[in-house]
Structures are given as C-alpha cells and as structure tokens.
Amino acid sequence: MNNKKSPTNIITPEGFFFSTVEAAIKKPGKKDLLLIYSPREAIMSGMFTTNQVKAAPVKLDMQRIRAGKGQAIIVNSGNANACTGKQGMRDALAMTRLIAKGLNLEQDKVYVCSTGVIGTPMPMERVRAKIPELVTGLGKSTPDDAAAAIMTTDTFPKVVTRRIRIGSKTGTLVGICKGAGMICPHMATMLCFIMTDLKIGKGALDKALKDTVETSFNSITIDGDMSTNDTVLIMANGMAENEPIKRNTAAFMRFSSALSDITYELGRLIVKDGEGATKLVEVVVKNARKQWDAKKAALSIANSPLVKTALYGNDANWGRIMAAMGSSGIAIRETRTDIYFGKVRVVKNGISQGKDMEAARIIRGKEVTITVDLRLGSSSSRVLTCDLTEDYIRINAEYRT
C-alpha cells in the first residue's frame, strides 16, 4: 500500500489508504463500495443525524464512537440500510465483521456508513463477494475516487484538503463528502469523512468537530428534508508525530480553523451541487438580538419554497423574504429592517427603495448573497442554500427508477 497524490493534487494524510470497487448495489456501472483504512489506530469523533428514524449503520456507529477509536470505515452507496428492521442491523454488523476479518482488526474498530434508497434490504451477497477485492485494493484509490464512490444524486466528487504546521511538524487534513438532496441542518446533513495525520486528544477533537459542524453543515439547506443516515466521522492517526494538540492552545486554534475551512467548503460544494439547482445562495442575517434569532431567521428564509422559486425566476421578490423572516418567530421590527441583494439595498426601514430591477440583474448570477439587517443587536448568522427548480422534482420523482 502506498499513499498517492490524486489527479487533482489532493495530498493524502500520512497513513491513510483508500479502496473502491463496484458491487452493483443499486445498479451496475459505477463503483459503490469504499474502504478507508489506517494501519495505526486513530482517535475518532463523530456526529450523526438527529432524525428520530436512524439507519442501522448510524445506530451501530453511535455505539462504537463512544470508545473514540477506530481504524477502518466501510461505506456503500445505492442503499441506505434504513427502515430495514433487525436484518438491517445484522447486515451492518456483517459488513464491519467482514472488513475486520480481512484486515485482522477488532470488529469494534470498524465503522460502517450507507447512503441511497430507504427501505430496501441490503444485497449482502454482492457486498460479501466484493470484500476481498476491497481489502486487497487498499492504496490503489485516491480521495477523489473515494468521494466518487459514495455519490448518489451528486454530479461531482467533493474533496477539500488543508495543510497546517503544528510546532516543527506539518500535518494534512483531507475531507470527502456526498450530498445533493435531503439536505437540512440539525447535524451533518450528508455523509462526510475527514482524515488527518495530526496527533490530537479526544476531547479536543470532539470540540473542534462540534464547533465546526455548527457553522458549516448545520448552516446549509437545500430542501428542508433531513436524512436518516447523516454522519460525519473524523479520524486522527497521529502519524505527523507532532506534539498532541490540546484544547485552549494556539495549536488547537490553528487545527480548528483548518477544520472549519474544510467543512465550510464541503458544505458550500454540497449546496452548489443541490439537486436541480442553478444558483448558490448565501443568506446573511445580521444585527439580531441573539445568535439563535439570526440563525433561525436565516434558515426560515433559506428554506422558503417561495423565496427559492423567486430566485430561480430571477425575481427580486423581497416581500417573500420579509414574510419568511416575519414567520420565523424571532424578534423583529419591520420599520428597522433593511434587505440587500448583493450590495443593492431594496428595502430600507421596511420600505421599498424602488430598486427591484437593479436587484434582478444581481440575482441572474450563479452566486447570490441576500443580506437582512435587523438593526436590533449585534448577532449575525449565515446559511447557504440554493434555488428550487423543476429539475429537483424530476430528480426525486425518478430516484427509485
């Protein structure tokens, strides 16, 4: 096994290996099984969907992550292994058991994630047949290959990397994710796997992940539907041999900043790839009384089908923004509220400024920023979303066919 540089010059952290194979889980023609492996035991942290209906792999991983250690993750696309009863849990366990046997690991050091159609039994005969090839292929795939293998309705692989210096050592972080639909906050909103060769304590890793998820994956929305399988896992195997990163240190701040960069950029790529989307939209609410008020108002605007369809139609219909914000339940004063499309202020003190046509030219672009200034306090929040098109309906109408 050899670490490789991917075609897009993504550098793999030291001591991590990837393998991808085709098991024809949903249909033939694409690689749909991924294995991530670190020969050295890694410190691990994870966050999971808050949906009360959780897929079998999520339930299993939530148990195993308590130990905070692991060495391998097996991931499949094409089948969510959700709402599959006791057999679903048996299948999830079997996938980890097969990998553990192939790599000579303890079974609880292996995690499993699935994405795809809900309610369909996992075709385990196809998965079992491909495990030996998956194990022997370690080191032959890149992070780009890994990201491609976990795609469902995604149109491109999503990979982001950062390198940072900790003391005298330089470490690497790489993140891959999938997601284009069923994207709504309240945890991770998709599958995401982050690997680093930096050495960091479990408490520090937990805090860094929790903080960065809140400002990235918990601040994106495409359609307001929360998946049953959402998972973020991070592995830190320490092979950079730096001094261990501890909380409340300069090294921790550098690590957290790099991790935030990765998760925010991955979240941005997810929204950019939103099913049927033609626009990436950033909603900024500033000068709210409380942080939660700003976040709640931004989400209310970002999730509004009326706002999203107006954006698709290049209609600067600020009335829909005002209505969405007013129904969010936060404290606002209509007569103090300003609304901007880009730098064009269309509303001042709750009154139209007659610049709808100018604003319409702004929103014809591929990336749009909507800013709402409540002028009530000092708290701000931003949420990433996209427009809503007829292609979103077509993609989801045909999802199981």
Site of tokens 């492996």? 37
Contact in structure between 382 and 288 (CB atoms under 8 Å): no
Q: Which of 219, 180, 188, 150 is nearest to 391 (CA)?
A: 180
Task: Give Cα 22 distance to the centre of its chain.
Answer: 23
Coil, helix or strand for 7?
A: coil
Q: What is the pLDDT of residues 33-53, one digit of tens each?
A: 999 999 999 999 999 988 888
User: For position 29, what pLDDT does the model report?
Assistant: 87
With a cut of 50, which residues of the chain have pLDDT below it? 2-8, 181-189, 223-225
As given in the structure block, the two tokens for residue 308 are: 């999203």
Measured CA to CA in angstroms, residue 47 lies from 14, 109, 231, 250, 361 at distances of 24, 17, 6, 25, 40
Report the half-sphere exposure of 236 (CA within 13 A, side-chain side): 24
Helices (H), 313-349: 318-326
Q: Does 335 participate in catalysis according to the annotation?
A: no
How far is 71 from 63, CA to CA, in rounded Å? 15
Domain ranges of the chain: 17-272, 280-397
3-state percent breakdown (helix, strand, coil) of the chain, nearest 5: 35, 30, 35
User: For position 184, what pLDDT does the model report?
Assistant: 46
Radius of gyration of the chain (CA): 22
**To 5 degrees, how large is the angle CA 28–CA 34–CA 35?**
150
User: For position 256, what pLDDT does the model report?
Assistant: 96
Residues, the chain:
401
User: For position 215, what pLDDT does the model report?
Assistant: 78
Coil, helix or strand for 171?
A: strand
How far is 79 from 268, CA to CA, in rounded Å? 25
> 280-397 has which CATH code?
3.10.20.340
Helix (DSSP H) and strand (DSSP E) numbers for the chain? 11, 14
User: For position 219, what pLDDT does the model report?
Assistant: 75
Coil, helix or strand for 115?
A: strand
Q: What is the pLDDT of residues 367-378, one digit of tens each?
A: 999 999 999 999
Site of tokens 């790489």? 174
Q: Please tell me which residue in 189, 212, 371, 385 is annotated as part of the active site.
A: 189
How far is 346 from 111, CA to CA, in rounded Å? 50
Antiparallel, parallel or unpaired: β 351-352 and 344-348: antiparallel
User: For position 202, what pLDDT does the model report?
Assistant: 96
Contact in structure between 144 and 7 (CB atoms under 8 Å): yes
Contact in structure between 382 and 301 (CB atoms under 8 Å): no
- Structural fold of domain 17-272: L-amino peptidase D-ALA esterase/amidase (3.60.70)
Crossing angle of helices 85-103 and 124-136, in 10° steps, is 20
> What burial class does residue 369 get, using C-beta atoms within 10 Å of its C-beta: 0-12 exposed, 13-18 middle, 19+ buried?
middle
Single-letter code of the amino acid located at 98:
L
As given in the structure block, the two tokens for residue 379 are: 């708290």
How far is 183 from 270, CA to CA, in rounded Å? 9
